[in-house]
Structure 1
Amino acid sequence: MKVLDLQCPHGHRFEGWFASADDFESQAKRQLVECPICGAKEVSRLPSAPRLNLSGANDAQSSSDAGASQAREWQARAMHALREVLEKTENVGDRFAEEARRIHYNEAPARNIRGVTTPEDAKALVEEGIDVMPLPIPAALKEPLQ
């Protein structure tokens, strides 16, 4: 099993596990590998080396590792928050604007909803005094995780 360091065009770094480097190349060419944060399928392999415990390792590497660790921790927190939003909202799909209005005008039961709408409809909702917030959901969260 090969653990590879990967990155999408948006700078999201993550690990991928593959049977071999050739397996990664094959899957990447067929666009089967995607960023777990944004769903981008243009994924590239980053240079990586085995981790070695060497006495006297320089502080610069340690600082770089700390920065990467903080980035991974932030991404993990963001993914956790998105999962929580998904668990606590009802997906009304492309009926979002209609359902948000029905809830706002007490024509439907109050509840937390999510869905899809056009930028124009979102602007109209805000102008009506209906609070909405765009929330891009990574493809990795749209289906159940294994």
Structure 2
Amino acid sequence: MIVFDLQCGPLGHRFEGWFGSSSDYEDQQARGLVSCPVCGTGDVSKAVMAPAVGRKGNQMTARVAKADLSDHVPAQPVANTPLPPEAVAMLKAVAAMQVEALKSSTWVGEKFAEDARAMHYGEKDIAPIHGHATLQQAQELAEEGIPVAPVVVPVIPPEEAN
């Protein structure tokens, strides 16, 4: 079985559809058998969705003590609903902290991995920097013991800002 996030065209209702395979979905869609459960329209397409990526076999799972289970509140789904005010406030606070941190940091663009490595090995003076790095570059830096962290809120390069 495969699960797709689907969305109707006219009103944007999002819902899940379970199919035997990707070709099964395409076949049912072509025959007009897929429709929005909210408004009934047949104008339905696959919605953007995050892939389900399994945990690596060598990673430990988080263990939760039984005492903690009584305090657990299930997360509310966020699809088709606005974020809770607390989440919006938290994201704004994180964005504001990042803006302040970036004020004392220098934009190095695509040279981020190169400059971070040069500072780590004493070839360049240490200074706070930010820029672009591929996932592979970031992993290589981390494996070398060079501290890196992603920015939470996307940063617009200076040359693209208006």
| TM-score, normalised with respect to structure 1 | 0.46
Query: Radius of gyration: which is bigger?
Result: 2
User: Could you say which structure has the higher helix fraction?
Assistant: 1
Which TM-score applies when normalising by structure 2? 0.42
Q: Which of 1 and 2 has higher RCO (CA within 8 Å, sep 6+)?
A: 1
